Amino acid sequence: MRDARHPDTPFWVEPANVSGDRLNLDSVESHHLVRVHRAAPGSTFDAVDGIGGTYRCVLESIGESGAVGRIVERWQGSGELAVPITMLVGLLDSGPAELVVEFGSALGATAIDFVACARSGRPPLAESRLDRLTRIARSAIKQSRRSRLPALRSSGSLAHALSGLGGERRLLADPGGVPFMTVPRGRLECPVVLAVGPPGGFDDGELACLREGEFDCISLGPNRLATETAALALLVIIRNALCSNNLRAI
C-alpha cells in the first residue's frame, strides 16, 4: 500500500460545509482523498470553497457523511488576480464552450457569459448545460489552485449582456482593431470586460452597440481565429499585461 501524501491539488468544499475550524468534504471528494491519496486521520490536505477561501486541513475523521477536516490555516483570495475579468463570448458549440470554460477558469476569468448573438443560430444555454460547465469550471479552479469559481451565465442577447455591466474597462476582439500595445492605457482600478463574437462574428448592429458601449477594438493578429481561440488569446493578453505591470495598468 502506498503511503499517504499531501495532495498537490485542493479539494472542493461547499461553503455551507465550512463551520468554525471544521469542514466536511462530500462523498465524491472524500473518496478521492481517502482512496486515491491514501489519506488517513492526521494526513494534511487543502480545500477551496469557490468564494475565495482556501483551507489547509488535517484529516480528523472519515465517516458515512464524508471526511471531516480540522482547519489549521486559511487564506482569502489565494490564486486570484487583483482585477476581475468578465468575458462576453458569442454562443458556440458545446465542445468549444467547454474549452473556454476550462481554460478561461484556469487563466483567471471571473465571469463568462455565453451570449446568444444574431449569428449564433441558437437560444441561450439551458440550466442543465450551465450546470455541466460549472462542474468543468470547478475542476479547473482546483487544478489551477484558484479560490473563486467563475460565474457562468448565458444571456439572450448582446444588449441584455451589456445592460448588467458597470464602469469597466472594455476590450473587443476585432480584426479591424489596433494592436493591443497601441491602445491608450489607464490604471486598472476597475473590472475588465472582454468581448468576442460568435462563429461568423458580431453583426453590424452588435458591433455598433459595442462601440457605443466604449469598447476598444483589439486586433489579435493577421490570422483568422475560431471564437474559442480568440477568447482565450485575448484573455491571455490581458492576464499577461496585468502580471507584467504588477497589476497596475494596461
- pLDDT tens digits, one per residue of 130-150: 999 999 999 999 999 999 999
What cell numbers appear for 26 in the block?
462530500
pTM above 0.75, yes or no: yes
- The answer to whether residue 1 is domain-embedded is no
Q: Does 156 lie in the same domain as 64?
A: no
Q: Is residue 250 part of a domain?
A: no
- What is the mean predicted confidence (pLDDT) over 28-52? 95
Please check whether residue 3 lies inside any domain of the structure. Answer: no
pLDDT band at 179 (very low <50, low <70, confident <90, very high): confident
Number of domains comprising the chain: 2
- The domain in which residue 142 lies consists of 85-244
Residues 181 and 229 in one domain: yes
Confirm whether 35 is domain-assigned.
yes
The pLDDT assigned to 34 comes to 93
My answer on whether 103 and 161 are in the same domain is yes
- Domain assignment present for residue 124? The answer is yes
The answer, yes or no, to whether residue 208 has pLDDT greater than 90, is yes
Q: 76, 104, 124 — which closes off a domain?
A: 76
pLDDT exceeds 90 at position 7: no
E strands present in 110-226? 111-115, 151-153, 169-179, 192-196, 216-219
Domain match, 99 and 220 both: yes
Does residue 5 lie in a domain region? no
Mean pLDDT of 187-195: 78
- The model's confidence at residue 164, banded by pLDDT at 50, 70 and 90, is confident
- Chain centroid, CA 248 distance in Å: 21
